[in-house]
Amino acid sequence: MGIRFVLMVNKQGQTRLAQYYEYLTLEERRALEGEIVRKCLARNEQQCSFVEHRNYKIVYRRYASLFFLVGVDDDEVNKSFSLCCIFNWFIKTQ
């Protein structure tokens, strides 16, 4: 199906923007965001920008004090690299 959610999170782990493209209850969203944010913030700069979580592939990128995270279907790996390129283009042209 493609992109399931987009999150923008600051370095303290606070969600600044959340857009979901599938239905999740508020409790499920909070739990999912907490798990993913902890996992991504714990990674260092030398590690890749792809993380597996539940049935999602998480593609994330840090720019300044914000993390941009996109959750895609596990079978949409081909598009994951292009998401990194889109992050790069979007952030640097703004």
The residue-averaged pLDDT of 31-35 equals 93
Mean pLDDT taken over the chain: 83
User: Is residue 53 scored above 90 in pLDDT?
Assistant: no
Domains of the chain: 3-93 (3.30.450.60)
Distance between CA atoms of residues 23 and 11, nearest Å: 27
Cα 29 to the center of its chain, rounded Å: 13
The residue-averaged pLDDT of 22-49 equals 90
- Residue 91, classed as helix, strand or coil, is helix
Q: Cα angle vertex 66, ends 92, 55, to 5°?
A: 105
Q: Is this model's pTM higher than 0.85 or not? A: no
